[in-house]
């Protein structure tokens, strides 16, 4: 796929906008559902993969968390938090040279 062409098709020609869309559609064509925005899961991706907050509740109703941020070469910092029934989980990181400093704050006891 030609990325430059795709960008121009979406933004310069404004086909979706001219067709009445108020956000990116779920699919390129008009034949499918328009009730789910394209890239609607981007926010979840940012928390789970960029910040590395993987939170789940086990079958025995125990909360578990894994913090494993992505080490993306040109991304120098990231910061965010999620709110769970067990409290807020915050993660931030900064990078200098080849060193990554990760900080986390968990309000209540959650197993790692």
Residue 65 has pLDDT above 70, yes or no: yes
pLDDT digits (tens, 9 = 90+) for 101-110: 999 998 876 6
Task: In whole angstroms, give the CA distance from residue 16 to residue 111.
Answer: 46
Structural domains of the chain, count: 2
Q: Is residue 100 part of a domain?
A: yes
Same domain, 71 and 91: yes
Host domain of residue 5: 1-39
Q: Do residues 23 and 10 touch, judged by C-beta distance below 8 A? A: no
DSSP 3-state assignment of 89?
strand
**Confidence bin at 84 (pLDDT 50/70/90):** confident
Q: In the chain, pLDDT over 90 holds for what percent of residues? A: 24
Task: In whole angstroms, give the CA distance from residue 21 to residue 38.
Answer: 12
Same domain, 84 and 61: yes
Question: Considering the entire predicted model, what is its pTM?
Answer: 0.60
pLDDT digits (tens, 9 = 90+) for 26-50: 666 665 666 665 556 677 788 888 9
Same domain, 98 and 70: yes
């Amino acid at each position: 796929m030609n990325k430059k062409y795709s960008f121009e098709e979406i933004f310069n020609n404004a086909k979706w906008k001219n067709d009445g869309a108020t956000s990116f559609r779920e699919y390129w064509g008009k034949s499918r559902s328009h009730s789910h925005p394209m890239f609607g899961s981007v926010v979840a991706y940012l928390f789970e993969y960029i910040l590395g907050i993987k939170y789940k509740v086990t079958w025995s109703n125990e909360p578990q968390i894994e913090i494993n941020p992505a080490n993306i070469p040109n991304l120098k910092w990231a910061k965010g938090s999620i709110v769970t029934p067990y409290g807020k989980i915050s993660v931030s990181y900064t990078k200098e040279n080849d060193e990554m400093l990760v900080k986390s704050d968990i309000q209540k006891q959650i197993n790692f």
